[in-house]
Amino acid sequence: MNKFVKIAAATAIAMSGATAVMAQDEGLYIPNLSYRTGPFASTGIPLMNGQRDYVAMLNARDGGLNGVHLEFDECETGYSTEKGVECYEATKDQAIVTQPWSTGITLQVLPRTNVDEIPILAPGYGFSAMGDGSVFQWGFNMPSSYWDGASMILNEISGGDLSSLAGQKIAFLHLDHPYGKEPLPFLEAMAEANGFELLPIPVGLSEMQNQASQWLQIRRERPDYVVMWGWGAMNAGAISEAVKTGYPMDQFVGVWWSGHDADLAAVGADGTGYRSISWSAPQPDAPVMAAVREHVFEAGNSLASEEELNSVFYQRGLVISMILTEGIAAAQDHFGSATIDAAQLRWGLENVNITDERLAELGMSGMVAPFATSCSDHTGHSGGWMLRWDGDSFEVDSDHLSPDSETIRALEVSAAAEYAAANAPWPTASCE
Amino acid sequence: MLYRTAGQFKTSYKKDQALFPVRQDATLLALILGLAWIVFPFMASEFAFQTLLIPVLVYSLAALGLNILTGFAGQLSLGTGAFMGVGAYACYKMITIFPEMNLIVAVLLSGFFSSIVGVAFGLPSLRIKGFYLAIATLAAQFFLVWMFEKVGWLYNYSNTGAIQVPNIDMFGVAVAGPLASSVTKYYFVLFIVTVVTVVMINLTRGTQGRIWKATRDMDIAAELIGINLLKSKLTAFAVSSYVVGVSGALFVFLWRGAAEPNLFDISLSFRVLFIAIIGGLGSIMGNFLGAILIVALPVVLNILPELFGIEIASATVEHLNIMIIGSLIIFFLIIEPHGLARLWALIREKLIIWPFPH
Amino acid sequence: MEFLSKIFVDPFVDMVAYPDFFLQVLWEGLVSGILYSLIALGFVLIFRSSRIFNFAQGIMVVFAALTLVGLHEMGVPAWVSVALTLVVMFGLAFTIERVVLRPLVGQPDIILFMATIGITLFLIGFGELIFGGETKVMITEQLGIPTGRMRLDVFDGYISLEEKDLTAVAAAGTLVVGLLIFLNKTRMGRAIRALGDDHQAALSVGISLQTIWVLVWFVAGIIALVTGIAWGARANVSFALEIIAYKALPVLMLGGLESISGAIIGGLAIGLLEKLFELYWGQPLLGGNTETWFAYVLALIVLLFRPQGLFGEKIIERV
């Protein structure tokens, strides 16, 4: 019976708000809803490590940010929405930001942030419509949204002239999940406007590792290009099937979450030519990498392995934390105080301005393209680069690419308005 | 001592069959209801509402629905998650088509839709038995989730394919959606759960309950004593799916706030099945005990290391959690295969005769 | 009319018009069918001897494959890690029998089923704790499995065959033959079958229940390892593999829970039919992704006509 008593006692403590033990006396509490377990862990781990190590580096090198310690913490979700919401509830009292890390969790948390007044930072994921800052006042998905990604891919494969795609067939291989469906409205609009045929091919969550049917369909339909929106175990599955089917790798392009070194490592040289659009690029020689190595990795405080350090995803994790800390710094500067609260951070994230000079100061030149956010634009539309797999690692393979901002903006505004109408009364801000 | 029954005499058969043959049972229940209706809402933090109180109630109701089918009528179901989904989507469609509809009415009506679907997938139970029947409900599980993905009408053709709960008012108070407070949501769920539970207690104690139990214990024998198996099994599917559907509507509207199709996948079905089995098949109270254990355990396990000031990476805690939950399931099955409800019954027996066990 | 023709005419026209593609579909179906059969075999063995519906077979596949790769990463030579993995699987079988099964003897089926789900959860947590959640690459080459591919030109088209799939088919075939010999020709094997036929009678002639259970779980572990290698060579080793256990359920139901040949034939039938349905009906007419439910619906329809599955033992009920 002793066990029951203990459980009961612990439950009672939990009921009366044991979250108080998580209270942070000093420092800024920035939790991350990580997923180091579950079917998507393979993509999650290097990203989480990068995010963690960047903050650890700032704490070790500069003692935090403008003199205030950054309290980075992970709450494991395993990519499950249920755990995610639990983590959100557990952390929201002290947290100044929520990093939900899954479209499903974002979906559930987004409506609550208006009430709880905590900014959501979802760099390169979440909803594309979050770019409309007047409607999604607390949501941020800079530097690029999925619609940006889809637009950049189309721009690159068409050589800059979308009308040249007329009459061609583009297969859209995607996870059958809110994340995978996200770019569909944009691609459909583009297909209609430019006269190419769009062939959506869904991959079910349980079929991620066994995509024979999907690739047989690709073999039958012979599309001119395959665009992939894959995640976790789906990427490796798709790439090995593509190799097997003999689909030309240079006509196969993935989103930034489908450009993970480990996914390509399995096929090695057979995957040469596969490309992935990305708003971040690995720069092994960047000064920030030296700092991370010195203060975190060599000090034995990193969870990452040596080969992981130069991977696309690890370095993207660094950029993600950099975007957050730049937002914090902007708020600290504006409000003249080292400790800030969630509402002040919202202002900071709305006024992030990453220029080439700033990137050079941070030692991150070339790791992300310059961008700026504003009250009405929460995406920044930084653009990005094509990364090409050369059989061994990803290399930047294009000039800086820009999305088709005007079309996307119009779509963002209408999708955001639709969301606001469905959730009326939904508060909107006027961005004058 | 506490549970002394001396002096409580039953002078008629009716009294002996009463809901509370022992006065202390009624007192205990009143105490629990008092806690649930008055004490908890004042004590609980936002975190407790969202991760303990509301989910325990919602999962209890889902397990209650499953228990009607599996525990009382003996038909194994592995498709509870999908039937919850039917309830949730039905409620969503009703609310978006008729925005003026009262939420209580919508929630109670949505059960009927999953009831219809449940009966359709229950038809094979007349021919298929035991584990083989699991395939019928599994077919429902996977087919329905696929439908939630594919049929755009169900999610109003939203970009993400997910459903989002709008703000819903009832008599001027926000009851669902982002603007509603946790306390209102809690009372709403508590009200529905209380009403449904009372109805189910009476249903399972009456003629229908006995018919189901006869079917469960041996359907051929039941048929021989004049029970219509077709009616008995199908009513079980209908009633069970109704309750499960209502819990699904509550699950999305009063707790999660948004849902994507794979929320209703097979792991949800298993979760509910765990609750029903750990709680005790064929028991109403067991569902609540099981839900408390299965819902609260991971939350408590997550908090424990911090309470004792142990520094463990969040991912490691999660791995240990899964291991501990797996082991506890086995542990409980070994110590009492009939569930927590039976465990409580044994304790109660002991208490009644305590301190003179002979 | 046009609609009906899309269902009843067009797919067949398509099959005849592109025979090379049709053959490729059949081949893919065959390969996944064989892997389904392997998982189902593990289930059937355990079910026959102990009436336990072992849900943990799926996670055992993952666990075996992870142990193999994990050991190799620690520097153990490939074939030695295979041997060590077998030792680990034996330890697992032994522990499960001791800790979980023995105290639960004689409990209702559903309780035992739940216990195997408990085992599944435990192994998921344990595996991730030890090996981490990263996707691992199966040590295909180190085990001497060829990784090339062949291109056969037929009917103005081609069929592409993976050598590792051929190996998987061969390995599965060998395993099945070996298993049949084991079950029919050896003392232990006959004891397993005896236990499946009549529990009480088997016990009364002195067959030890405990030994047989450990043995059966160990054999299921071996099957899991072979499945893990074959599937891992196709699509890496990660916890996402665990979901293939769900695919084995309809295979079992279709074939009949007690029948070894049922598991093999059921697996092949489901592998083939679900691919054909997806490619020729699902994708053109239903928006694709029908593989998630096709196997279950098929099994359900078959069960309506044969409630004990195609090869299961006829259920005789007495009052």
CA distance to partner chain C, nearest, from residue B326 (Å): 4
| Greater pLDDT, B350 or B211 | B211
User: Chains contacting A with at least 3 CB pairs below 8 Å?
Assistant: B, C
pLDDT of residue A18: 40
What residues form DSSP beta bridges with A198? A170
Q: Which of A138, A114, A140, A118 is nearest to A127 (CA)?
A: A140
Under an 8 A CB cutoff, do C253 and B139 touch? Answer: no
Residue A19 pLDDT greater than 70, yes or no: no
Q: Percent of chain A at pLDDT above 90? A: 26
- Please give the average per-residue pLDDT across A27-55, as a whole number: 87
pLDDT digits (tens, 9 = 90+) for A47-70: 999 999 999 999 998 888 888 888
Question: Cβ of A182 and B159 within 8 Å?
Answer: yes
Q: What is the pLDDT of residue A124?
A: 87
Asked whether residue A110 falls in the same domain as residue A158, the answer is no
Q: Is B308 on the interface with A (CB under 8 A)?
A: no
Cβ–Cβ below 8 Å for C129 and B316: yes
Q: Which residues pair with A32 in a beta bridge?
A: A74
Contact C18, C154 (CB under 8 A): no
Q: Please state, in angstroms and rounded to a whole number, the distance separating the CA atoms of residues B254 and B268.
A: 17
Residues B210-268: pLDDT tens digits?
999 999 888 888 888 989 988 999 999 999 999 999 999 999 999 888 888 888 988 89
Phi-psi region for residue B144, left (φ > 0), alpha (ψ -120 to 50) or beta? alpha
Nearest to C25 among A202, A216, A240 (CB): A216
Nearest CA in chain C to A207: C292
Separation in Å, CA of B105 to nearest CA in chain A? 20
| B150 has a chain C CB within 8 A of its CB | yes
Answer whether residue A397 is part of any domain.
Answer: no
Q: Are residues A203 and A314 part of one domain?
A: no
Note which residues in 331-370 of chain A have CB less than 8 A from chain C.
none
Contact C249 B315 (CB under 8 A): no
CB contact under 8 A, C319 and B323: no
pLDDT on residue A20: 39
Q: Domains, chain B, ranges and CATH?
A: 46-353 (1.10.3470)
A155/A102 same-domain check? no
Contact in structure between A146 and A174 (CB atoms under 8 Å) = no
- Please state the separation of Cα B331 from the chain's center in Å: 22
Segment-wise mean pLDDT, segments of 10 residues, chain C, 319 residues: 77 79 87 86 83 84 88 84 90 89 82 87 87 75 75 76 83 86 85 78 82 87 88 75 77 82 88 90 82 88 83 70
pLDDT number for residue B1:
58
Retrieve residue A116's tokens: 């709880």
Per the CB < 8 A criterion, the answer to whether B343 and B350 are in contact is no
Residue in chain C nearest B329 by alpha carbon: C118
In a domain, A244, yes or no: yes
**Residue whose C-alpha is closest to residue C302's, from B127, B130, B74, B78:** B127
H or E element in which residue B311 lies: none
| CA A330, A334, A336, A342 torsion-angle sign | negative
Q: Do you find a cis peptide bond into A370, omega within 30 degrees of 0?
A: no
d(CA A142, CA A372): 9
Please give the Cα distance from C313 to C197 (Å, whole number).
10
Boundaries of every domain in chain C: 2-305
| Beta-bridge partner residues of A200 | A172
Q: Which residues pair with C160 in a beta bridge?
A: C151
Best interface-test mutation with C: which of A34, A175, A198, A210 has the largest number of C CBs within 10 A? A210
Q: What is the pLDDT of residues B42-81, one digit of tens each?
A: 888 888 888 889 999 999 999 999 999 998 998 888 899 9
Q: Within a domain: residue A109?
A: yes
Please name the member of A14, A36, A83 whose beta carbon is closest to the beta carbon of B48.
A14
Among the three residues A230, A246, A278, which one is the final residue of a domain in this structure? A278
Question: In Å, how far are B293, B299, C123, C129, C130 from C126, measured between CA atoms?
Answer: 22, 19, 5, 5, 6
Structural tokens at position B281:
């098949």
- Residue contact A17–B166, C-beta within 8 A: no
**Which are the contacts of B117, defined by CB distance < 8 A and separation ≥ 6?**
B83, B86, B140, B144, B241
pLDDT in tens, A289-345: 999 988 888 888 888 888 888 889 999 999 999 999 999 999 999 998 888 888 999
How far is CA B160 from each of CA A170, A235, B140, rounded to the nearest angstrom?
21, 20, 24
Residue A276 has φ and ψ, to the nearest 5°, of: -140, 130
Q: Count Cβ–Cβ pairs < 8 Å, chain A vs chain B.
A: 141
Q: Does A159 fall in a domain?
A: yes
How many whole angstroms separate alpha carbon A190 and alpha carbon B266? 36
Whether the pLDDT of residue A241 is over 90: the answer is: no
Q: What is the distance of C-alpha B317 from the center of its chain?
A: 27
Report the alpha-carbon distance of residue C272 to residue C34 in Å, rounded: 10
Chain B residues touching A7 at Cβ < 8 A: 296-297, 300
Residues of A in contact with C244 (CB under 8 A): 209-210
Residue of A nearest to B312 (CA): A74
Say yes or no: B126 contacts chain C, CB-CB below 8 A: no
Residues A225 and A324 in one domain: no
Question: Could you say which of B136, B266, B328 has the minimum Cβ distance to residue C300?
Answer: B136
Which range is most confident: A13-22, A317-326, B321-330, C122-131? A317-326
Q: What angle do CA A319, A78, B317 make, to 5 degrees?
A: 100
Please tell me the predicted confidence (pLDDT) of residue A261. 86
Give the orientation angle of helix A184-194 with respect to helix A405-422, to 10 degrees: 130
3 state SS for A31-65: EECCCCCCCCHHHHHHHHHHHHHHHHHHHHHHCCE
What token pair was written down for C212?
């047989």
Could you tell me if B323 lies within 8 Å of chain A, comparing CB atoms?
no
CA distance A183 to B160: 9
CA angle in degrees (0–180, nearest 5) for A287-A290-A293: 150
Q: Select from A260, A278, A296 the last residue of a domain.
A: A278
**In DSSP terms, which residues pair with A173 in a beta bridge?**
A201, A228
Amino acid at A85: V
pLDDT reported for residue C318: 66
- Secondary structure class of C245 (helix, strand, coil): helix
Residue C253: the pLDDT is 83
- Choose among C24, C231, C240: nearest Cβ to A232: C240
As a whole number of angstroms, the distance between CA B341 and CA B287 comes to: 8
Tell whether the model's pLDDT for residue A17 goes beyond 50.
no
The region that residue A232 occupies, defined by phi over 0 for left and psi between -120 and 50 for alpha, beta otherwise, is left
- The predicted pLDDT at position B338 comes to 84
Our CA-based measurement puts residue A31 at a distance from the nearest CA of chain B, in whole angstroms, of: 11
Tokens linked to C174: 């060998």
B71 to B211, C26, C34, C63: CA distances (angstroms): 13, 43, 37, 33
Nearest-CB residue to C135 (from A201, A204, A262): A262
Which pLDDT value is given to residue C246? 79
Whole-number Å distance between alpha carbons of B79 and C149: 41
Show which of residues 50-69 on chain B sit within 8 Å of chain C, judged by CB atoms. Answer: none
Q: Are C85 and C225 in contact (CB under 8 A)?
A: yes
A266 with A174, same domain: the answer is yes
Rounded-to-integer distance, Cα C2 and Cα C14, Å: 16
Asked whether the beta carbons of residue A212 and residue C275 sit closer than 8 angstroms, the reply is yes
- How confident is residue A22, by pLDDT bands cut at 50, 70 and 90? very low
A11 and A46 in a single domain? The answer is yes
At residue C71's C-alpha, the angle toward residues C67 and C77, to 5°, is 130
The verdict on a CB contact (< 8 Å) between C109 and B130 is yes
Same domain, A34 and A117: yes
In a domain, A203, yes or no: yes
Q: Are A75 and A135 in the same domain?
A: yes
Q: How far apart are CA A30 and CA A21, in angstroms?
A: 16
Q: From C123, C121, C51, C45, select the one nearest C91 (Cα to Cα).
A: C123
How sure is the predictor about B358, in pLDDT bands with cuts at 50, 70 and 90?
low
For A91-137, give the secondary structure using H, E and C: HCCCCCCECCCCHHHHHHHHHHHHHHCCCEECCCCCCHHHHECCCCC
Fold (topology level) of C2-305: ABC transporter involved in vitamin B12 uptake, BtuC (1.10.3470)
Closest CA to B90 of B72, B71, B109, B103: B109
Do A183 and A243 have their domain in common?
A: yes
Do A264 and A292 lie in one domain? The reply is no
Q: Do B334 and C104 touch (CB under 8 A)?
A: yes
Q: What angle do CA C111, C114, C120 make, to 5 degrees?
A: 150
How confident is the model over A151-167, as a mean pLDDT?
Answer: 87
* Residue A396 lies inside a defined structural domain of this protein: no
The pLDDT value recorded for residue A4 is: 47
User: Domain of A303?
Assistant: 2-144+283-383+410-422
Nearest to C240 among A44, A208, A240 (CB): A208
Separation in Å, CA of A23 to nearest CA in chain B: 11
Q: What is the pLDDT of residues B81-128, one digit of tens each?
A: 999 999 999 999 999 898 888 999 999 999 999 999 999 998 888 888
**Which site among C238, C241, C249 would you substitute to test the A interface, given the most A Cβ atoms closer than 10 Å to its Cβ?**
C238
List all residues 6 or more positions away from A411 whose beta carbon is below 8 Å from its beta carbon.
A128, A129, A147, A185, A186, A189
DSSP state of B18: S
Domain boundary among A278, A311, A330: A278
Residue B19 is given by DSSP the state S
| Chain A residues within an 8 Å CB radius of C243 | 205-206
Give B13 to chain A, closest Cα distance, Å: 36
pLDDT over 50 at A24, yes or no:
no
The more confidently predicted of residues A379 and B179 is: A379
- The verdict on B169 touching A (C-beta cutoff 8 Å) is no
pLDDT at A3 over 60: no
A96 and A153 co-located in one domain: no
**CB of B299 less than 8 A from some CB of A:** yes
Whether A67 and A215 share a structural domain: no
Subunits that touch chain C (at least 3 Cβ pairs < 8 angstroms)? A, B
Decide if pLDDT at A269 tops 90.
no
CATH number, domain with residue A250: 3.40.50.2300
Helix or strand holding residue A90 (H, E):
helix A81-91
Q: Is residue A214 part of a domain?
A: yes
What is the pLDDT, as a whole number, of residue A349? 92
Question: A198 Cβ partners below 8 Å, 6+ apart?
Answer: A170, A172, A187, A188, A190, A191
Q: Does B47 touch chain A (CB under 8 A)?
A: yes
DSSP one-letter code for B165: P
